[in-house]
């Protein structure tokens, strides 16, 4: 059995008229024989991040999922983008009963693909958790289908909307509930590399990872050339950040202190939540230094990648922002940098941007650091920080 397909509204209404004589369908009637189990995020939001032995399924359409998923979720749309559109149209232009009938006609033919989806994701070995926008019909219907296949899913009460409310409430808390130690330093000095290394032995908050952006005009390029999709909006960024904080706070070695990279308030198109940013601004700091040679190597590796994959994207941004860079660097330096990039002299291009743009525009914050260390040897720098934390009982 294939789901109905419509090319326009007229075909939809013809389908609904033909179905008008069929017995009415009620979701309440469909669900009454199912004993669904529910999860209250007000009591157990940490469960979503406590381990990886669960399968978190977003039942919403592809577009909704891409806009703002709960971190760690994978998508199985009960209604895809087109189906959701026509179901909504049936509801507003025809009747609720017709909309329910159409939604069921769309959903039921997906049972085989759902079974494959569950097997591919090893559902039999995991705890299955389902949600939609607010824990209504779609999450229940997907849970019904999963139950029919012999599994035991759980439904998030309030769905994604509830998760979003909890994340927002967390970032609205003042003061921020955890201690922070800021890792600062000039562009390319290895702050991110250091945090990625040290994360194995101490909890870290990676703001750039949550934003999928390296906090610069070129900041999405490192993720783009590695196949990542951009974070769509502020809510999605905050939801990802909240998930990361929750995950790191559940580590057995967490003692109420996170390491966090120094950032400006804005990362790409997103703003760091104000109370969290204030906590970073007021946190004690460790300053990282690095040789210019190693800074250039790191920038080249991150932004250009293997086989200079990032060059085209970097060149495009540099051209689009021509007026801005001319103002910040001077017209002569802009064209010198452009010529270097065009002539394959990537290292000279990076050096010019570091010396005449980043080092002048993004200066280290005026704090007296607790410690100053070189990141030219990342493992050694990590050991120095861990030793410092132990000595000072941080």
Is 3 domain-assigned? no
249, containing H or E segment: helix 234-249
Is 386 domain-assigned? yes
Concatenating the DSSP letter of every residue in 62-93 gives HHHHHHSPPTT-EE--SS-HHHHHHHHHHHHH
- From 145, 120, 135, select the one nearest 30 (Cα to Cα): 145
Cβ(201)–Cβ(382) below 8 Å: yes
Same structural domain, 229 and 104: no
Same structural domain, 310 and 225: yes
pLDDT along the chain (394 residues), means of 10: 76 75 75 94 88 91 95 96 90 84 91 97 96 93 97 96 96 95 95 95 96 92 94 96 96 95 93 97 95 96 92 94 95 96 92 94 80 96 95 87
Same structural domain, 159 and 240: no
Q: Given this model, what pLDDT does residue 23 score? A: 61
Q: How many CB atoms lie within 10 A of CB 75?
A: 16
Same structural domain, 354 and 206: yes
If one counts the domains in the chain, the total is 2
3-state SS, residue 283: coil
Residue 334: domain span = 175-391
- From 33, 7, 15, 161, select the one nearest 99 (Cα to Cα): 15
- From 153, 22, 133, select the one nearest 84 (Cα to Cα): 133
Our CA angle for 151, 154, 155, nearest 5°, is 135
Q: How do beta strands 74-75 and 154-156 pair?
A: unpaired
Distance of CA 81 to the CA centre of its chain: 21
Is 244 domain-assigned? yes
183, containing H or E segment: strand 179-185
Q: Given this model, what pLDDT does residue 329 score? A: 94
Q: Given this model, what pLDDT does residue 302 score? A: 95
Give CA–CA dist 32/10, Å, rounded. Answer: 34
Q: Given this model, what pLDDT does residue 322 score? A: 96
Q: Given this model, what pLDDT does residue 97 score? A: 83
Q: Give 373's contacts (C-beta < 8 A, 6+ positions apart).
A: 286, 287, 288, 289, 381, 384, 385
Is 4 domain-assigned? no
> What token pair was written down for 296?
């250039």
Alpha carbon distance, N-terminus to C-terminus of the chain: 62
Same structural domain, 137 and 278: no
Residue 67's CATH number: 3.40.250.10
Cβ(187)–Cβ(354) below 8 Å: yes
Q: Given this model, what pLDDT does residue 365 score? A: 66
Concatenating the DSSP letter of every residue in 134-151 gives SSSHHHHHHHHHHHHTT-
Give CA–CA dist 26/135, Å, rounded. Answer: 17
- From 362, 366, 368, 381, select the one nearest 263 (Cα to Cα): 362
Same structural domain, 96 and 221: no
Of 103, 132, 167, which marks where a domain is finished? Answer: 167
> What token pair was written down for 295?
């800074």
Cβ(107)–Cβ(135) below 8 Å: no
Same structural domain, 181 and 49: no
Cβ(302)–Cβ(313) below 8 Å: no
Give CA–CA dist 116/368, Å, rounded. Answer: 57
3-state SS, residue 154: strand
Same structural domain, 181 and 320: yes
Of 138, 167, 196, which marks where a domain is finished? Answer: 167
Cβ(162)–Cβ(156) below 8 Å: yes
| Residues belonging to the chain | 394
Give CA–CA dist 127/113, Å, rounded. Answer: 19
Q: Given this model, what pLDDT does residue 107 score? A: 94
Of 149, 167, 185, which marks where a domain is finished? Answer: 167
């Amino acid at each position: 059995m294939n789901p109905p397909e419509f090319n326009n509204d007229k075909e939809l209404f013809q389908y609904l008229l033909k179905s008008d004589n069929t017995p009415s369908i009620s979701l309440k009637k469909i669900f009454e024989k199912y004993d669904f189990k529910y999860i209250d995020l007000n009591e157990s939001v940490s469960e979503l991040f406590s381990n990886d032995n669960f399968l978190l399924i977003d039942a919403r359409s592809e577009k909704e999922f891409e806009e703002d998923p709960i971190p760690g979720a994978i998508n199985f749309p009960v209604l895809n983008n087109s189906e959701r559109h026509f179901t909504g149209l049936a509801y507003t232009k025809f009747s609720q009963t017709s909309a329910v009938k159409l939604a069921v006609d769309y959903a039921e033919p997906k049972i085989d693909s759902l079974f494959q989806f569950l097997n591919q994701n090893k559902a039999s070995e995991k705890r299955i958790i389902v949600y939609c926008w607010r824990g209504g019909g779609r999450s229940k219907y997907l849970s019904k289908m999963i139950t029919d296949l012999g599994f035991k899913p759980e439904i998030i009460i309030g769905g994604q909307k509830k998760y979003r409310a909890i994340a927002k409430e967390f970032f609205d808390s003042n003061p921020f509930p955890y201690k922070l130690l800021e890792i600062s330093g000039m562009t390319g000095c290895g702050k991110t590399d250091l945090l990625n290394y040290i994360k194995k032995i101490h909890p870290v908050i990676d703001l750039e990872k949550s934003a999928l952006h390296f906090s610069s005009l070129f900041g999405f390029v490192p993720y783009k050339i590695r196949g990542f999709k951009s974070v769509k909006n502020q809510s999605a960024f905050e939801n990802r950040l909240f998930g990361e904080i929750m995950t790191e706070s559940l580590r057995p070695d967490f003692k109420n202190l996170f390491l966090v990279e120094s950032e400006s308030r804005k990362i790409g198109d997103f703003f760091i939540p104000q109370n969290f940013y204030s906590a970073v601004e007021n946190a004690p700091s460790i300053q990282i230094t690095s040789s210019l040679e190693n800074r250039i190597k790191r920038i080249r590796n991150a932004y250009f990648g293997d086989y200079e994959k990032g060059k085209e994207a970097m060149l495009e941004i540099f051209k689009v922002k021509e007026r801005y860079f001319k103002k910040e660097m001077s017209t002569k330096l802009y064209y010198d940098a452009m010529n270097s990039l065009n002539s394959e002299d990537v290292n000279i291009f990076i050096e010019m941007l570091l010396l005449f743009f980043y080092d002048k525009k993004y200066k280290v914050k005026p704090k007296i650091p607790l410690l100053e260390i070189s990141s030219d040897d990342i493992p050694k720098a990590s050991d120095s920080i861990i030793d410092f934390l132990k000595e000072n009982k941080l």
